[in-house]
Amino acid sequence: MGTSKNALEPLAIGVDIGGTGTKFGIVDRVGNVLFSGEMSTKKHAQVETFIDELQVHLAELITKAGGQGRIKGIGVGAPNGNYYTGTVEYAPNLPWKGIIPLAKMIQDKTKLPVVLTNDANAAAVGEMMYGAAQGMKDFIMITLGTGVGSGIVANGQLILGHDGFAGELGHTIIIPNGRMHEGTGKKGSLESYASATGVRLTTLEVLKTSKKKSVLRDVPANDIDSKKVFEAAIAGDEVAKEIFEYTGKILGMALANAVMFSSPEAIILFGGLTKAGDLILKPTREHMEENLIKVFQNKVKILVSHLKESDAAILGASALAWDIK
């Protein structure tokens, strides 16, 4: 296998489009991110200006990497991205509404082949190539960020579904008639609870309904976020610990359902909330096991991605590009 020092070795570009920012980088076969950068997604109300800016950044990196000839293609991870059509469809967290032919637009602009999928699918491919899922044929990737994404691999293949949109575990209903999700209008979905947004909402609810002392009561409601809850929890705040316990309970139930669906060898967690470590992992494991029927118990590993967070999204997206024909 080649290394990045070989000037003739092909490289791939990974682009990870998030609701707030977009990360991009040039990656070699073994998963080194050679050059990278980032830009705002949010400030581009129009997808056209977003792509103009992206192209300028990519052109710079491509020049540094030795020119267009070395680039095999571009892999793009984006919320609600569709592998089959190369479109992003009705993504609640992106500034562009409706159906956007993003792969084609980037391809036309950069003159490089582009393949696109949703961000969590890209992360799953990244874990399979470079991360915790190396050698696994059956696993589920769950990204716990502002929202909850998922990528499901079975029989060694990404499950894309008949329309390319499979793997939306974040939107499965865990608590019927539960908390309203503002983006989708649905009630009780996993994402409403087990995301950074969900932890914030749980905190606001708990502070209202419980009478317990908590350092979180000194934080203005607008400033409450999952990071503050985490800091309070590691400082021993009981209310903050309960909030993670509750979040883990719901996540554990959802993971049990996922396990009974596709019976993975492991579930790989990635993203901001995993930083809470055992505060969230312990209740998650416990409640997963509690809800599993016997044949599934004590079999499924819950792992935290060990890819560097700043690189992982780019690696995952770039991994898609290696399969471009």
Q: Which residues bind its own copies (CB under 8 A)?
A: 80, 89-90, 136-138, 152, 154-155, 157, 159-169, 171-176, 184, 186, 253, 256-258, 260-265, 291, 293-296, 299
Query: Measured from the CB atom, is 64 or 137 closer to its own copies?
Result: 137
Q: Tell me how far, at minimum, the Cβ of 65 lies from its own copies, in Å.
A: 34
**Shortest Å, Cβ 157 to its own copies:** 5
Quick one: 36 or 184, whose CB is closer to its own copies? 184
Minimum distance of its own copies from residue 221's CB (angstroms): 28
Minimum CB distance to its own copies, residue 284 (Å) = 15
Q: How far is the CB of 256 from its own copies (least distance, A)?
A: 7
CA distance 100 to 137: 32
Q: Which is nearer to its own copies, 137 or 308 (CB)?
A: 137
Give strand pairing partners of 39. Answer: 22
> Nearer Cβ to its own copies, position 296 or 322?
296
| Contact present, 166 and 159 (Cβ < 8 Å) | yes
Paired with 304 in beta bridges are 269
The type of residue at 179 is: R
State which residue, 62 or 190, has the beta carbon closest to its own copies: 190
